[in-house]
């Protein structure tokens, strides 16, 4: 299978945006048997789990609308594995989405939570 260069390019854009916004990038593309987390960062005392989605336009909806409940459950399960593996149980966890439409970045904080 060929690598997804477009996805990586957009993740790189998201990382640059986050760094410019003062975030510290902890890891990228953390994988578990449940799925993958695109970016894990720190925003102050928060550990931020970030899903990156992109589209060239919004003709068929916004990128963040492609994240369904099944995907959210996979992200949460993978985040729980990451938190335990890194000993971060006492940290505040936040789930964000970076939505990129035609090179415009939209940051949706607290997009969903553990519940």
Q: Please give the residue range of the domain that contains residue 31.
A: 5-112
pLDDT at 98: 97
| SS3 of residue 97 by DSSP | strand
Cα separation, 28 vs 11, in Å, equals 9
Query: What CATH number is attached to the domain comprising 59?
Result: 3.40.1350.10
Cα separation, 23 vs 3, in Å, equals 27
Q: Model pTM? A: 0.90
| SS3 of residue 113 by DSSP | coil
Element (DSSP H or E) covering residue 38:
strand 36-43
What are φ and ψ of residue 103, in 5° steps?
Answer: 70, 5
Q: What's the structural domain count of the chain?
A: 1
Instruction: List the beta bridge partners of residue 27.
Output: 40
CA R_g for the chain: 14
Instruction: Output the tens digit of pLDDT for each of the chain's 115 residues.
Output: 444 556 688 999 999 999 999 999 999 999 999 999 999 999 999 999 999 998 888 888 888 888 999 999 999 999 999 999 999 999 999 999 999 998 899 999 999 887 6
| N-to-C CA span, the chain | 35
């Amino acid at each position: 299978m060929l690598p997804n260069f477009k996805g990586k390019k957009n993740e790189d854009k998201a990382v640059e945006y986050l760094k410019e916004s003062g975030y510290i990038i902890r890891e990228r593309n953390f994988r578990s048997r449940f799925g993958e987390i695109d970016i894990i960062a720190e925003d102050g005392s928060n550990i931020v789990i970030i899903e990156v989605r992109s589209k060239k336009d919004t003709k068929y909806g916004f990128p963040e609308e492609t994240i369904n409940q099944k995907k959210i459950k996979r992200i949460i399960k993978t985040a729980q594995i990451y938190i335990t593996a890194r000993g971060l149980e006492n940290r505040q966890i936040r789930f964000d989405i970076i939505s990129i439409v035609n090179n415009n970045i939209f940051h949706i904080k607290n997009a969903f939570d553990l519940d």
